[in-house]
Structure 1
């Protein structure tokens, strides 16, 4: 029986949770250990909400928020941030857009006012739009020289097709080129609303002061959430392999996987545990032990479930000398197939439990880390005891349950493989892979496959 020492147990993080009348959730994590504060505004709308043919819009919105407000231009906003020695970031995920400001707690009132100005009053200047769009187009062109990026994008498009999880978050050359100047403002007006959004204030500011300031700045924020758009998960396809030719490349990038689970799936944490044995646990994982340590076919191989609002991918990523592609694909097939049928051993499962349970407290060392954990709960609507019960849930997974989960969640019969490398040096794909298709890298950016 696995017993967790009290000293290693993660308790429910101390925090205060309030709601403004407009639907905005406020999380306050007071921590007086350091004179610092972080503000994080999470919006439950990310790349998956980009309109059809406009992949990259949400990412462009994130990039433009600090490029001018109704009161100040981009340079003035940058000076305001620099004068406080603060840090600013805005990033887009598949399911969310997150804006963060961090600085000294003595500057809290100025920081939260600045966050409100940047997020609620963006001007989306035309010159900044065109400049950022041009930079994105250059970045997309450069990305095509990165085999790993091409492999990831090809895998995502091959797995999801026209589903919103298919396009790169940054968009494609086609979607960026055709994007109207008014698109970011339209996206912001439609989706940047308080209902469902969450503001986390973490650090050395009294809770009452933090709540009052949040209400003063954000209570006037209005807007109604648009009706949710249904996006059924793609129907699993038969086994197939997509090949992307990169002449003279000595290495080949390989992606292997299929649809996984959503973050709300009650099996999520146990799935992480099982995957830790297969390919998530570093050098001790089966994939690393066989394909790297025993055979020397790669320097690294990793697997993981990317859990999202809807079913994310289960993906194995690696690279190998081009001539070894067929052998690596066969080894992945064999290892995943054997693991699906037999599950982990008792020793493997026990080691994985120790890694996950023992490392869990490290995710709560700072108030900002606690805020991140709480924001994930808000985004995905997870149960209130999600954080403090995690270790017990991991320890409760027995050998039979782990084996059942491996069988239920791994599907080599419908796997998609992607190989990016010199096809002339690769030889033939394994005979049992079914459909084999060669993909033209240039077409990844065409109007027809603009959602890649």
Structure 2
């Protein structure tokens, strides 16, 4: 039976009436505390960086760790540079499929036997592949860390490559991709990535495409394993109730048995692939529009990366404290969520403003973002600076708290060459920040004239009016980020239902 779904019509500027009931005077509960006075904030906490130890395996793999005895737990990861980054353009998705099958048994254990062995230790082990990395992660009690690490070693060095499990994995990935193909948010992510990176390997979806995954076979996963999973581009991070000597013993097998050369990495993306301007992908009858606004900005190793992130806090990086949220969500009710931030790695990454808004306020939402970008730097003042400093300094109190936090610190140290106290050094940047410096950073790194403005929504009701924004004529794209022909645009604008459109606008 088909479900009945009622959708509100797309009527420009239509806002529901807000009715506030008059409940009269409500007596307050007696209290010795004057609750009309907001308590003051305490001083920012003083932090110290955890001690980090370093070592190297016999095969040259660097190991870094943080000993923490607060709980009897250990978390570890073996991280390799790779994932999508080391895939060939005709075999995208191989790394993702390999990650799917690596925990489905080993050469000497069936999937059930491997799962039971991990469960018997009270441990967990997972394998994931992303855009720039391939990671084996695990967690265990400290008393079972050696045995858990031995299972991780078995997963790494003795893969099963079971044809049946590969077919199941391929089915899972195919289904995920098919499901994503109907999601405007996923469409926006993929199209924006292509606009930013173009034909560079990072312009692709790390999971591949439905058509691409169809032709991948077990040999492709095996070829990726042999080429990319080598110690030459690997690091190990360990945090928890275990000493450096205990880690060294547990990793002896990986150091002695694992070998291989360094696969060649692709060159960095030299420049943003697409010109700044306004782009539109049609999802007919969509009642929401997904907005992605940004450009290919900074690597995390760039000296301006963290200062620019600080400058972005009040714009869109501060959750409910940010201007984007206060206006688009709290003030207008156009969206449930909106945010912005810089997302670099060792390579240049994007600055993005992202949100989903009601379709009938697509133009108004983009207008607000446009005007806010224009005014943000010039209107940034001492009150904004005080809110930025207070939040960033006080939330940093939890930066070293969990084992996951500590693994993240170790990963940043390995990837970017940061010192162990880099978060404390970033605190100094926040403390020394000035209004003038924020304005300078905003002018340089939040200049909207450099931006790609992408809308994924209903072209019939939203496309035409966007040319009035003053950020360029909208370019209609298909879902592969390829420009549609003029006839396609004309057909959409003159499609049935277009008559009378001005009445609903």
**TM-score normalised by length of structure 2:** 0.82
> 5+ residue gaps in structure 2?
1-41, 483-505
Q: CA deviation at 1:180?
A: 3.4
Out of 183, 190, 210, the residue aligned to residue 146 of structure 1 is 183
Out of 48, 62, 66, the residue aligned to residue 25 of structure 1 is 62
Aligned ranges for residues 424-439 of structure 1 at < 5 Å? 424-428=460-464, 429-431=466-468, 432-439=470-477
Conserved 8 A contact 2:52-2:420: no
Q: Separation in 2 of the partners of 1:74 and 1:124?
A: 11
| Residue-by-residue CA offset, 1:421-445 (whole Å, 9 max, x unaligned) | 222222522332324232334x579
Instruction: Classify 1:147/1:163 alpha carbon distance in 2 versus 1 (closer, same or farther; 3 Å).
Output: same
Q: Separation in 2 of the partners of 1:102 and 1:237?
A: 42
Q: CA deviation at 1:95?
A: 1.9
Conserved 8 A contact 2:74-2:140: yes
Instruction: Classify 1:22/1:201 alpha carbon distance in 2 versus 1 (closer, same or farther; 3 Å).
Output: same
Conserved 8 A contact 1:81-1:87: yes
Out of 21, 45, 50, the residue aligned to residue 82 of structure 2 is 45
Conserved 8 A contact 1:282-1:302: yes
SS in structure 2 at match of 1:8: coil
Out of 14, 17, 36, the residue aligned to residue 73 of structure 2 is 36
Aligned ranges for residues 73-222 of structure 1 at < 5 Å? 73-222=110-259
| Residue-by-residue CA offset, 1:323-356 (whole Å, 9 max, x unaligned) | 211121121111112225x262221122112211
Q: CA deviation at 1:216?
A: 3.6
Q: Separation in 2 of the partners of 1:312 and 1:158?
A: 13
| Residue-by-residue CA offset, 1:41-98 (whole Å, 9 max, x unaligned) | 1112222222112222222222221123222222221111122222222222322122
Aligned ranges for residues 341-356 of structure 1 at < 5 Å? 342=378, 344-356=380-392
Instruction: Classify 1:324/1:430 alpha carbon distance in 2 versus 1 (closer, same or farther; 3 Å).
Output: farther
Q: Separation in 2 of the partners of 1:357 and 1:44?
A: 32
Number of residue equivalences: 439
- Mapped pair 1:227 → 2:259: no
* Alignment partner, residue 420 of structure 1: 456
Q: Which has the higher contact order (CA 8 A, sep 6+)?
A: 1
Conserved 8 A contact 2:103-2:126: no
Q: Separation in 2 of the partners of 1:369 and 1:297?
A: 34
Conserved 8 A contact 1:30-1:367: no
Q: Separation in 1 of the partners of 2:180 and 2:215?
A: 19
Q: CA deviation at 1:311?
A: 0.9
Q: Separation in 2 of the partners of 1:286 and 1:6?
A: 25
Q: CA deviation at 1:302?
A: 0.7
Q: Separation in 2 of the partners of 1:228 and 1:30?
A: 33
Conserved 8 A contact 2:153-2:253: no
Q: Separation in 1 of the partners of 2:213 and 2:277?
A: 30
Q: Separation in 2 of the partners of 1:413 and 1:98?
A: 38
- Mapped pair 1:334 → 2:371: yes
Q: Separation in 2 of the partners of 1:366 and 1:322?
A: 41
| Residue-by-residue CA offset, 1:282-320 (whole Å, 9 max, x unaligned) | 122121222223333222211111112211111111122
- Mapped pair 1:440 → 2:478: yes
Q: Separation in 1 of the partners of 2:155 and 2:118?
A: 11
Q: CA deviation at 1:267?
A: 1.5
* Alignment partner, residue 408 of structure 2: 372
| Residue-by-residue CA offset, 1:381-440 (whole Å, 9 max, x unaligned) | 224542332211221222222111111112311321221222222252233232423233
Conserved 8 A contact 2:198-2:273: no
SS in structure 2 at match of 1:205: coil
Out of 79, 95, 98, the residue aligned to residue 58 of structure 1 is 95
Q: Separation in 2 of the partners of 1:262 and 1:164?
A: 17
Q: Separation in 2 of the partners of 1:200 and 1:385?
A: 16
SS in structure 2 at match of 1:434: coil
Q: CA deviation at 1:134?
A: 1.7
Q: Separation in 2 of the partners of 1:232 and 1:370?
A: 30
Conserved 8 A contact 2:463-2:474: no
Q: CA deviation at 1:247?
A: 2.3
**TM-score normalised by length of structure 1:** 0.91
Out of 379, 398, 402, the residue aligned to residue 362 of structure 1 is 398
Q: Separation in 2 of the partners of 1:94 and 1:84?
A: 31
* Alignment partner, residue 494 of structure 2: none
* Alignment partner, residue 283 of structure 1: 320
* Alignment partner, residue 418 of structure 2: 382
Instruction: Classify 1:92/1:344 alpha carbon distance in 2 versus 1 (closer, same or farther; 3 Å).
Output: farther
Q: CA deviation at 1:362?
A: 0.8
- Mapped pair 1:271 → 2:308: yes
Q: Separation in 1 of the partners of 2:426 and 2:251?
A: 31
| Residue-by-residue CA offset, 1:102-145 (whole Å, 9 max, x unaligned) | 12112111101001111222232222222211211111111122
SS in structure 2 at match of 1:315: strand
RMSD over equivalenced CA pairs, Å: 2.1
Conserved 8 A contact 2:85-2:202: yes
> 5+ residue gaps in structure 1?
446-452
